[in-house]
């Protein structure tokens, strides 16, 4: 596997974990990011050196773990776009949350250069990225899956093969993000409502995870509120983007998503309060401020 070479763009919390998992699996991995300190950190942990321009033509796979569609397109086809320099038969593994039609368009443009494209959004959080146990919702041709296999094996516990055409993975990720965003906002609303009834957040966390009203997001995010620790594992700012994508897709399908719209407004309000860089559990502060509630850690 040491002969397989990966260029990974985007060394944020998810991308850095994936890059570490690739190195741990023995894959030669070059990591790139707009923040030079992250690149230096990864190289100190075993990442290969070299510029993206130098590596592009030698890479068997380009893994893109950036924030949004605009950044993804810039990496692939911008002024310094990588795809035109990639060798035929190599594969782009695109991980950001994007609209299905964007994924299909990128796959078509890559094919024009003889490059394969795997629509491969990820789920699981930074800890699972670091452990190499992500869930990947993937779609693409059999050749794209085959070319991407060393990356998938090193970074994922579960790879869902959702079809032969790019876009199906992004569609499934949109469904997941709808549920995840709504569940976080609902957790915040339920916990804040409990406080109005004299229920301490610690009691909420003790009881609700053992009851039918629980969710994975509730069990994962509620402790952040109880501990008054809003160090971002997944930030508030992610959700106006991701839920916005969900609603764009819904509108194009003529589908109403009122619960998603309500959750989106909560995250927008949190961002407007200056909480965008905090953990997404901080959306509870919107409810607390409106109701005059005291949260753990408040003076």
**End-to-end CA, the chain:** 54
298 in a structural domain: no
User: Which of the listed residues 134, 165, 196 is the one where a domain comes to its end?
Assistant: 165
Distance CA 245, CA 92 (A): 22
Residue 121, in any domain of the structure: yes
- Read off the pLDDT of residues 122-148 as tens digits, 9 standing for 90 and up: 999 888 999 999 999 999 999 999 999
Q: What is the pLDDT of residues 13-56, one digit of tens each?
A: 899 999 999 999 999 999 999 999 999 999 999 999 999 999 99
Last residue of a domain, one of 123, 142, 165: 165
- Residue 91 pairs with which residues in a beta bridge? 61, 116
Res 125: pLDDT: 87
119 phi, psi to nearest 5 deg: -75, 105
Tell me whether residue 299 is in a domain: no
193 occurs within a structural domain: yes
Torsion angle of C-alpha atoms 40, 77, 116, 103, degrees rounded to 10 = 100
The answer on 259 and 153 residing in a single domain is no
pLDDT (tens digit per residue) in 267-277: 999 999 999 99
* Domain containing residue 212: CATH number: 1.10.1040.10
Task: Decide: residue 274, CB within 10 A, 0-12 exposed, 13-18 middle, 19+ buried.
Answer: exposed
Whether residue 65 lies inside any domain: the answer is: yes
Residues 22 and 142 in one domain: yes
Instruction: Say whether both 161 and 176 belong to one domain.
Output: no
Domain encompassing residue 223: 171-291
| pLDDT the model gives residue 1 | 42
Q: Is 233 designated active site?
A: no
Cα 29 to Cα 262: distance, rounded to the nearest angstrom:
41
- Give the position of tokens 């053992």: 210
pTM, whole model, 2 decimals? 0.93
Q: What DSSP character marks residue 234?
A: S
pLDDT at 3 over 90: no
Which of the residues 173, 210, 233, 241 is marked catalytic? 173
State whether residue 244 is helix, strand or coil.
Answer: helix
Q: Which residue has the tokens 């310094």?
A: 80
- Looking at the structure, do residues 15 and 151 belong to the same domain, yes or no? yes
Q: What CATH number is given to the structural domain containing 156?
A: 3.40.50.720
Total of domains in the chain: 2
């Amino acid at each position: 596997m040491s002969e397989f070479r990966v260029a990974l763009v985007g060394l944020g919390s998810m991308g850095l974990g994936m890059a570490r998992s690739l190195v741990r699996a023995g894959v030669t991995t070059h990591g790139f990011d707009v923040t030079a300190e992250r690149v230096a950190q990864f190289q100190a942990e075993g990442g290969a050196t070299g510029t993206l321009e130098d590596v592009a033509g030698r890479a068997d796979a380009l893994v893109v773990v950036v924030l949004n569609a605009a950044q993804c397109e810039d990496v692939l086809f911008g002024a310094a776009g990588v795809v035109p320099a990639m060798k035929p038969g190599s594969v782009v593994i695109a991980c950001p949350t994007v609209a299905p039609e964007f994924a299909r368009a990128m796959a078509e443009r890559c094919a024009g250069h003889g490059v394969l494209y795997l629509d491969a959004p990820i789920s699981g959080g930074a800890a699972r990225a670091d452990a190499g146990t992500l869930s990947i919702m993937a779609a693409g041709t059999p050749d794209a899956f085959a070319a991407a296999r060393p990356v998938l094996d090193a970074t994922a516990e579960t790879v869902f093969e959702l079809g032969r055409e790019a876009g199906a993975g992004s569609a499934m990720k949109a469904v997941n993000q709808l549920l995840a965003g709504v569940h976080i906002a609902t957790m915040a609303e339920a916990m804040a409502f409990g406080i109005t009834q004299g229920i301490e957040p610690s009691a909420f966390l003790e009881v609700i995870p053992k009851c039918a009203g629980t969710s994975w997001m509730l069990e994962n995010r509620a402790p952040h509120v109880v501990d008054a620790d809003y160090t971002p594992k997944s930030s508030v700012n992610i959700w106006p983007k991701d839920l916005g994508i969900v609603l764009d897709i819904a509108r194009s399908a003529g589908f109403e998503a009122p619960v998603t719209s309500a959750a989106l407004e909560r995250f927008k309000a949190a961002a407007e309060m200056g909480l965008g860089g905090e953990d997404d559990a901080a959306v509870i502060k919107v409810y607390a401020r409106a109701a005059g509630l005291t949260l753990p850690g408040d003076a």
